[in-house]
Amino acid sequence: MLKGSIVALITPFNPDGSVNFEKLGELLEWHIAEGTDGILVLGTTGESTTMTHEEDDAVVEFTLKTVNHRVPVIAGSGSNDTATMLMKSKRYADMGADALLAITPYYNKANEEGMIRHFTTVADAVSAPIILYNVPGRTGCSLSVSAVERLSKHPNIIGIKEASGNISFAVSISRYLSDDFVMFSGNDDMIVPIMSLGGSGVISVFANTNPKEAHELVAKWLDGDQAGSLEIQQKYLDYIHALFCEVNPIPVKEALNAMGKGVGGYRLPLYEMAEKNKEHLYAEMKKVGLL
């Protein structure tokens, strides 16, 4: 089973906006060396919504080849169109992805049965296990507690990235956690609370800049050092909040560039940070020793 700190990796771009595969390779090697427990590509942080299917395929293929089974690789294969999600899921499973991250059908806002079939249609058809992705702040819709209960019983659905920010919802679905269905925090400011409910780790934006610390935060909790885990969570809390002072992944890319990682810019409609927010981010980076 997957556990630990899984980085929701940014996608580096060249000055002309194309994917910078040389830089992607450098980031992958850095994360493995720093103790990142797993790599997620094509998530929200990876800006997959502005990438073509061909670019998505190339990023997954490159990542799998570079990582070469050293850590698990999860590919974001979600779509608001179930047929498209099925197509991408089959392709990434065939490529060798260790798991697939499948998002709720944004914009469509399916009813309960449609929501469930959105996921089971894919889970029934692919070899790679599925992780549900619940992020209503992005999608405008949420999995219900009853839907999670039903989906948790599917043999090929192994977990959920819970990013609603609603601790009551997380408590409610924690009743369905087992050896076969795990929960990852999708919010970096709630890693310890989710772990306290039986969570298995985090799918993290914070880990882009602090892979070692994100790994240690989760590892300490899993090893029984709850105080040590909480200490790391609290130390970086203000910086984590600064990483979301504008829409993700704008601040985390800005932070990486400030650290000298040279990951490039964004694709519209994402755009450079407002100066006051940039100053706030830099100030918090200095407090935790990143600048």
Catalytic residue among 3, 23, 88, 133: 133
HSE of 160, CA atoms in CB hemisphere, 13 A = 32
- 161 catalytically annotated: yes
- 261 catalytically annotated: no
Q: Beta partners for 183?
A: 160
Catalytic residue among 88, 161, 220, 278: 161
The token pair at 13 is: 């771009």
- What residues act catalytically? 133, 161
